Structures are given as structure tokens and as C-alpha cells.
Amino acid sequence: MTASNADLSTILNRILDAAADNLRIAKILTQMGLDPNNVTYDAIFNRLLEIFLHNITLANMFALVGAIFFVATLLTQTMVPLRVANMIGCAFFAAFGALTGTVTTFLLYLLLVPINAFRLRQMLVLIKKARSATQGDTSMEWLKPFMTERKYRKGDILMKKGDAANEMLLTVTGKFLVMEINVELPPGRLMGELGFLTPDNRRTATIECIEDGHVLTITYEKLLEIYFQNPQFGYYFLVLTSQRLLENIARLEGILAQNKLAQQAAAASGPN
């Protein structure tokens, strides 16, 4: 084992001697405080260790911790831990800037701390409301701050059956007609939520605006983000869609019952 280490050290020293013959490398070695005519693996290691120990300062330690938390944000998959790690990392980088007297670094990372704190608070409020919604409140009021407004006029087609779907809508004012089943949607009703669950994200019905109004929209990507922050939202969303499907089934059963009564009435009033 000792002979093997000696052979490796000899090979490395030969490589370093050959590299030292290059003027550019010799200049770099000189800047590092090494003698180009007497370069060994041990000498480089000792010099690097000396540089490392010399630069162990409080400011650099803050920068190192900040870098660790920055790497943690790259490895984090959910937003809440990411925001927390980012805030901690920015705080350490701001301390590094203050200790080294770098005003731009200090101000940049100091500004990022409250921004991340604000976004973190938004996400925590969203999670709290989503969790309370999963416990029985099936209204969509809690989701409105994360939706955007869109206006429609009478005769506008909001969506067509079979089209690609990428957003869910909530009616606020006006009236909208589901053309396939001839059902009006009053304010406060969801539209397009079933497209979120279909395998190919396709619209399952055509909806027309029959009275001027406006809706609130939210993309499926945002819904997925909410789900990843609080998986309970997935259960809540299933409750909403199940309620919608049950309503459709009850409506169809009512239509079938009416048709059956009509047929029976027609048969009873037939030729005597």
C-alpha cells in the first residue's frame, strides 16, 4: 500500500513538473506563492490549506451558510420550505455584505428577505383556507384572490366541447348556458373543472354566454401548485367535481323520468 502511494505521488509530481515548464502555469503558481522550480503535490495541498485557513472569517462563514441554504432551495420541491430556505440564505448573504462593506450585496439580499416573507405569508394563508375548505366549506371564496377577471358579452362562446382545456372558471355575474344539456349556470358556479381531471385535458361541454357578465379564471398549473402545497386540496376538489357529477346524474334521471311519464301518458291516451 505504501509503495502504491509512493508511485502515485511520483506520477503527480512528474505531471506538476511538466506543467511548471509552461510559462502561463508558472505565472499562476507564482501568484499562488509557490516556487515553479520546486512544485510538488504536497506543496500545493499545503498552500491551498493555508489559503483556506487564512480566509476563515466570520463574513465568509456567513457566505458559506448562505450558499448552503441557496443550494437547498434548488433541491426543494414545495414552495413553503423553498421560501423559508431562501429567506434564511438571503439573511446570511445580507450579513456577509454588511461585514465586508459591500453595500450592493447587503441591500440586494436585505430586500429579498421581506419579499420572500410576503410570498410565504400568502402561501400559508392559501394553505390555511384550502385546509378549512376541505373540512366542509365548498364555496370558492378563498380561491378568488388567486384568480383573474374576464368579461363576456351575450353570444360569446366560453369553451367548446373537445377543445384543449387549461383553466377553470367561476361565474360572478351574468348567465351562461351549457348547450349540450340546456342548463343555465347562475353566478357562483364552476365551469371547466372537469377538464382538469380528464386524461387529455379536453372540454366536456360547450358553454355560451346568454347574459353579459364576468367570470374569474385560474389555470390548471396554479391548481396543481395549490395541490402540491396542500394535498388535502385534492380531496376537496374531488368533492366539488363529485357534487357536479351527482347533480348531472340527478338531472339526467329527472329527464328520463319525465320522458317515461310522457311515454306512459301517450300510451294511455292512445287509440281506444
210-238: pLDDT as tens digits? 999 999 999 888 888 777 766 666 767 77
The answer to whether residues 146 and 209 belong to one domain is yes
How far is the C-alpha of 170 from the C-alpha of 189, rounded, in Å? 6
CA proximity to 66, closest of 86, 50, 38: 86
Q: Is residue 43 part of a domain?
A: yes
Q: Is residue 120 part of a domain?
A: yes
The answer to whether residues 148 and 220 belong to one domain is yes
The answer to whether residues 209 and 171 belong to one domain is yes
The answer to whether residues 18 and 83 belong to one domain is no
The answer to whether residues 149 and 220 belong to one domain is yes
Q: What is the pLDDT of residue 177?
A: 92
CATH number at residue 213: 2.60.120.10
Pairing of strands 183-185, 190-191: unpaired
Are 176 and 213 spatial neighbours (Cβ–Cβ below 8 Å)? yes
Q: Is residue 169 part of a domain?
A: yes
Q: Is residue 197 part of a domain?
A: yes
How far is the C-alpha of 272 from the C-alpha of 269, rounded, in Å? 8
DSSP 211: E
The answer to whether residues 30 and 50 belong to one domain is yes
Tell me which residues of the chain have a pLDDT lower than 70: 1-9, 11-41, 43-45, 47, 49, 51-55, 129-142, 229-233, 235, 270-272
How far is the C-alpha of 130 from the C-alpha of 213, rounded, in Å? 27
The answer to whether residues 93 and 117 belong to one domain is yes
The answer to whether residues 146 and 129 belong to one domain is no
Q: Is residue 257 part of a domain?
A: no
Sheet with 190-191, edge to edge strand ranges: 148-152, 213-219, 167-171, 190-191
Q: Is residue 246 part of a domain?
A: no
The answer to whether residues 145 and 217 belong to one domain is yes
DSSP 35: -
The answer to whether residues 111 and 35 belong to one domain is no
The answer to whether residues 122 and 174 belong to one domain is no
Write out the residue range of the structural domain in which residue 82 sits.
Answer: 64-133
How far is the C-alpha of 264 from the C-alpha of 21, rounded, in Å? 106
Q: What is the pLDDT of residue 122?
A: 80
Q: Is residue 262 part of a domain?
A: no
Q: What is the torsion angle, in degrees rounded to the nearest 10, for the CA atoms of residue 213, residue 219, residue 225 and residue 229?
A: 20
Q: Is residue 194 part of a domain?
A: yes
How many structural domains are present in the chain? Answer: 3
The answer to whether residues 119 and 38 belong to one domain is no
Last residue of a domain, one of 76, 101, 133: 133
CA proximity to 58, closest of 104, 86, 92, 106: 92
CA proximity to 221, closest of 189, 196, 192: 196
